Structure 1
Amino acid sequence: MSAIPVADDVLGPDVAVLPLAKVSEAMGQSVNKVRQLLRDGQLLAVRRDGDLCVPADFLAGATPVKGLAGLLTVLQDSGFTRTEMLRWLYSQDESLPGHTPINALRTNHGTEVKRRAQAMAF
């Protein structure tokens, strides 16, 4: 995978991110487990003010948003870099519920989001 992007370069300062310690706390897992989720491609991280952080939108309570890990796999298999994945997840699309792929995932429209990601590969 590509290098970890800087949050403000990719997401802008208005997107909330959580340092790994906060993600660990929210998930009830160790920081090492969160790092493993990052290595396994189940979550993506960015750097903000030098800290490794996960966008808050990627969590639904104590778990990653349903369908996120599979979507990240599809995007990676399509050749997307981490930066491109993040930009796509937060890109505006008025035809999607929630108007961005990440918001559509959060509102249980993962099938449509994954379908669009797969279509981009061809």
Structure 2
Amino acid sequence: MRDGIKGWKKAGYQVVGDAKLLDDLIALNKNDFKALCLCEKDARKLKNCTFVDFRDNADYDKGHIKGANHVDYADMFSKPMMEELNKSNSLVIIHDDQAVAGVIAATLKLMDYPDVYILR
């Protein structure tokens, strides 16, 4: 959907947070997601690294990593957001809930983003 999760909700589709979704995505993708978790220092060593902060506006405004791109989780996978992410960059996902960060990372991997990491 062009408007991401907001558009999905507006169309009347259900949005439910469930750890089973993460388990299903991990099983489908067969990646070791613990290996994808790294600290900021190690992330900054990656070639063409892009930090993408998926927290809501309030949490982002309280404090964020310098240079991080902000995408409210509710706008995730909107067409403008997807056009902004470059598949040739290493993406480092930021979210306070590690299960949500894992779902975002798994979904991006399924969408052929080759280098996706989760900030610890």
TM-score range, shorter chain: under 0.3
TM-score when normalising by structure 2: 0.27
- TM (normalized to structure 1)? 0.26
RCO comparison, higher one (Cα < 8 Å, 6+): 2
